[in-house]
Structure 1
Amino acid sequence: MTKPMTAYKVLTGEQMAALEHDGSFAGAPVDLQDGYIHMSTAAQLTETVDKHFAGQDDLHVAAVDLEAVGDKIRWEESRGGQLFPHLYGTLTLDSVVAYSPLERLDDGTVRLPVTG
């Protein structure tokens, strides 16, 4: 499997504001508990939002350049045997290539932030 060069982190409005203000994000409570920042590929993102953020408002999606975070990313087996990108370290704003409020397309999938 060719690994994608971009992964996605779902953030609350408060977490996104902190990332913008501080330039870094140490993780949500579940990230801090598990010892890494949970992220998803584009193909995994909608299921992640549906499973872990159902019913929540004011969510944002940050696109993270995996090359920029380098060896801090580990691909580890999780839900259904899929490999998920896990960031062992702090998420820095300079590794985020795009972000936007979470929106869904007509088919219900999460719209990815526009990069470039």
Structure 2
Amino acid sequence: MLIYKILRSDEWAALNAASQTAGAPVDVADGYIHFSTAEQARETAAKHFADEDGLYVLAFDADALGEDLKWEPSRGGALFPHLYGPLKLADVVWSRPLPLGLGGHVFPDDMT
């Protein structure tokens, strides 16, 4: 199963430069990396990145992240994937721009 992380362009550049990161400021503050499933990603973008352009969506294989990935209740009691460890460039399955369209962010058609 793929799970997704949305990063701002400077956060994506920092991950590329350092090969790993503790995440965005919210991740550092909370002590884990926030991820979303494909079904949760659009709401995450609308809630936390509304009107922000220059974003990227990164896909990760949930199983490959191992025991550091925990599924925990969050928004509305839904289980969200949280990574208790660094976000590693080597774990990125793919990354794509997440442009801002007229009705919100335009996600890749093949996000599953």
Q: Same fold (TM over 0.5)?
A: yes
Task: Let me know the Cα RMSD of the aligned residues.
Answer: 2.2
In structure 2, list runs of 5 or more residues that go unmatched.
none
1:92 is aligned to 2:50: no
In structure 1, list runs of 5 or more residues that go unmatched.
none
Per-residue deviation at 1:69?
1.2
Partner of 1:61: 57
Give the 3 Å change call, closer, same or farther, for CA 42–104 of structure 1 in structure 2.
farther
Asked if the contact 2:32–2:84 (Cα under 8 Å) also holds between the matched residues in 1, the reply is yes
Report the TM-score, using the length of structure 2 for normalisation: 0.88
Report the TM-score, using the length of structure 1 for normalisation: 0.86
- For 2:51, what is the secondary structure of its paired residue? coil
User: Any idea what the Cα deviations from partners look like across 1:6-61, whole Å, max 9, x if unmatched?
Assistant: 11000000010111111112111111111101110000000000000011111100
Asked if the contact 1:18–1:25 (Cα under 8 Å) also holds between the matched residues in 2, the reply is yes
The alignment covers a number of residue pairs equal to 111
- For 1:61, what is the secondary structure of its paired residue? strand
- Give the structure with the higher percent strand: 2
Partner of 1:46: 42
- For 1:84, what is the secondary structure of its paired residue? strand
- Counterpart Cα distance in 1 of 2:63 and 2:96: 21
Give the 3 Å change call, closer, same or farther, for CA 103–56 of structure 1 in structure 2.
closer
Any runs of at least 4 consecutive aligned residues in structure 1 with deviations exceeding 2 A, and if so which?
103-110, 112-115
Amino acid in structure 1 at the alignment position of 2:84: Y
- Counterpart Cα distance in 2 of 1:112 and 1:70: 26
Matches within 5 A, 1:1-116: 5-103=1-99, 110-112=106-108
- Counterpart Cα distance in 2 of 1:13 and 1:112: 17
